[in-house]
């Protein structure tokens, strides 16, 4: 009876949430508030959903121990938990949507047509290089370009061009190189004669005021004072060592992004299962693991230097994304208790026998980890690869991405070093099933997070909910 009542209550809650998801975006369309929606409404809702899911997950029992309504309760709990994880990741990383969906900006998507329009109108072009995976690009749109005073001037005074880096990586990379770009976001002001105005052109995000100053400089015809990327400035002014330090810090900051979160339980599982008997052994295993990550990115750097082109966008290719989604769904089902995901006994024995405590297995998992993290670190990696592609220096290309990967791997070095502490935890008990189920919800949530790169409709649904919550709660 208790289980039936819980299921009915949560069924009613899900119907209520569905109604809210459908109604608040519609209600929000009529609101006149300007500017981007704050992050906190979606953060609060996602945390509440995750909290509610805990009561339904039946954390102390394995899947095969559940009966009847208990299994349904876990399914509902996993659904809510996955949605909560997905919404939380979106609220922390995605550019907040604008209150109003109406945009006055009209962008050319064909560069040739835009060039002709520039000559016909006798107006310069503003070329905005963007990509679906570039969150900073979306934030620049929402926080600067779509602001009323900026939007009005842009529509009146320049020819606007959007160059989608995802649409044709090689062609767009060539255009990006022509206009001296080394990363995304990149905004280039181009004169009627097709020449770049390097002074006002910029990379990265700017405040509204700083952008308007750049726009004024471009309109005045002052194209001097060329500006490179932050990385190129550091390399030119402070030398290679400082530039490598900057790349290392960028790698470490990238390890704090949502795409890296699912690797944490996997890493703990690898080193815990290897049974590292000391911190020194844990450190040696984790060094090999991070070396696998470093090799993945170093190969990208070497190829970019050899061929003078960019492969960063390939790591956001739909085939790669779908592969990662399938991987996380399988991991989620295993964590939920539907089956045990294990290597064949013979292969597991061989992996554990190579290099003592399974160094080959740790290295191979490191190679995979570099690919899993790719969608979130793509914008940073693409920026480095673009610079390397222009220089065509193999040693520089491999070295930079190698250092970046070690920054990305610092968190795994820490986890691997202290993984021996896992052996001190109780080996049996309901808490272990609970941890697995919670990680199952995390894996499913991250599968949704990756899936949005392929199915843009997911992002539109979240933005609609986010916008509606902003109007209701702010």
Tell me 312's DSSP state.
G
| 164 phi/psi in degrees, rounded to 5 | -85, 110
pLDDT at 159: 95
pLDDT at 48: 93
Report the distance separating Cα 293 and Cα 271, nearest Å: 16
| 67 phi/psi in degrees, rounded to 5 | -130, 145
- Here the tokens at position 17 are 């949430």
pLDDT at 100: 67
Whether 305 contacts 389, CB under 8 Å = yes
- CB neighbourhood size of 305 (10 A): 23
- Domain chopping of the chain, boundaries: 2-99+463-473, 111-164+184-228, 234-425
- Fold classification of 111-164+184-228 (topology level): Glutaredoxin (3.40.30)
Report the distance separating Cα 446 and Cα 86, nearest Å: 6
Give a three-class secondary structure readout of 36-66. Answer: ECCCHHHHHHHHHHHHHHHCCCCCCCCHHHC
Q: For residue 239, how many C-alpha atoms fall within 13 Å in the half-sphere facing its CB?
A: 1
Alpha carbon separation from 257 to 84, 89, 104, 185, 243 (Å, rounded) = 17, 9, 33, 18, 22
**Cα dihedral across residues 411, 417, 421, 423: positive or negative:** positive
Tell me whether strands 186-190 and 202-203 are parallel, antiparallel or unpaired.
Answer: antiparallel
* Single pTM value for the model: 0.65
Which of 218, 192, 196 is CA-nearest to residue 206? 218
Asked if the peptide bond before residue 185 counts as cis, ω within 30 degrees of 0, the response is yes
Q: At what angle do helices 374-391 and 279-307 cross, to 10 degrees?
A: 50
If the chain, 474 residues long, is cut into consecutive pieces of 10 residues, what is the mean pLDDT of each piece?
Answer: 51 50 45 71 93 83 79 89 92 78 77 92 92 74 85 93 71 65 78 89 84 92 57 60 82 75 65 60 82 85 63 60 84 77 52 53 79 66 65 75 88 74 53 75 88 82 90 81
Tell me 145's DSSP state.
I
Q: What residues pair up with 162 in beta bridges, in sequence order?
A: 128
């Amino acid at each position: 009876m208790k289980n039936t009542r819980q299921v009915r209550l949560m069924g009613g809650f899900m119907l209520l949430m569905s109604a809210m998801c459908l109604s608040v975006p519609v209600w929000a369309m009529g609101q006149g508030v300007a500017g981007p929606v704050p992050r906190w409404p979606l953060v609060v809702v996602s945390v509440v959903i995750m909290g509610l899911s805990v009561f339904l997950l039946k954390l102390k029992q394995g899947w095969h121990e559940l009966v009847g309504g208990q299994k349904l309760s876990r399914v509902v709990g996993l659904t809510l938990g996955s949605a909560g994880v997905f919404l939380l990741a979106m609220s922390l990383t995605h550019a907040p949507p604008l209150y109003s969906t109406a945009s006055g900006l009209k962008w050319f998507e064909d560069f040739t047509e835009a060039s002709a329009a520039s000559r016909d109108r006798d107006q310069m072009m503003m070329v905005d290089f963007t990509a679906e995976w570039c969150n900073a690009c979306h934030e620049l749109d929402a926080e600067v370009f779509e602001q009323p005073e900026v939007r009005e001037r842009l529509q009146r005074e320049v020819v606007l061009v959007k160059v989608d880096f995802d649409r044709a990586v090689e062609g767009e990379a060539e255009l990006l190189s022509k206009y001296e770009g080394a990363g995304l976001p990149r905004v280039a002001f181009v004169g009627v004669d097709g020449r770049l105005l390097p002074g006002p052109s910029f990379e990265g995000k700017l405040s509204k005021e700083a952008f308007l100053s750049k726009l004024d400089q471009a309109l005045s015809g002052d194209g001097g004072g060329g500006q490179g990327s932050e990385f190129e400035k550091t390399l030119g002014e402070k030398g290679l060592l400082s530039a490598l330090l900057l790349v290392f810090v960028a790698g470490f900051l990238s390890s704090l992004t949502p795409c890296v979160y699912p690797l944490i339980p996997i890493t703990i599982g690898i080193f815990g299962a290897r049974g590292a008997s000391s911190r020194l052994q844990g450190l040696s295993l984790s060094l090999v693991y991070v070396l696998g990550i470093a090799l993945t990115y170093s190969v990208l750097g070497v190829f970019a230097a050899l061929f003078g082109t960019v492969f960063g966008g390939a790591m956001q290719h739909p085939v790669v994304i779908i592969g990662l989604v399938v991987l996380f769904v399988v991991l989620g089902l295993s964590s939920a208790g539907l089956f045990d995901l294990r290597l064949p006994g013979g292969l597991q024995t061989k992996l554990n026998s190579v290099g003592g405590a399974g160094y080959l297995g740790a290295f191979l998992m490191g190679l995979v980890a570099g690919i899993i993290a790719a969608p979130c670190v793509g914008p940073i990696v693409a920026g480095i690869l673009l610079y390397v592609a222009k220089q065509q220096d193999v040693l520089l290309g491999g070295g930079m991405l190698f250092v970046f990967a070690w920054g990305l791997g610092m968190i795994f070095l820490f986890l691997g070093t202290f993984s021996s502490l896992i052996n001190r935890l109780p080996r049996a008990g309901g808490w272990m099933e609970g941890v697995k189920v919670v990680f199952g919800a995390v894996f499913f949530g991250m599968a949704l997070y990756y899936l949005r790169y392929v199915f843009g409709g997911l992002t539109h649904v979240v933005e609609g909910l986010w916008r509606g919550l902003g109007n209701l709660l702010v």
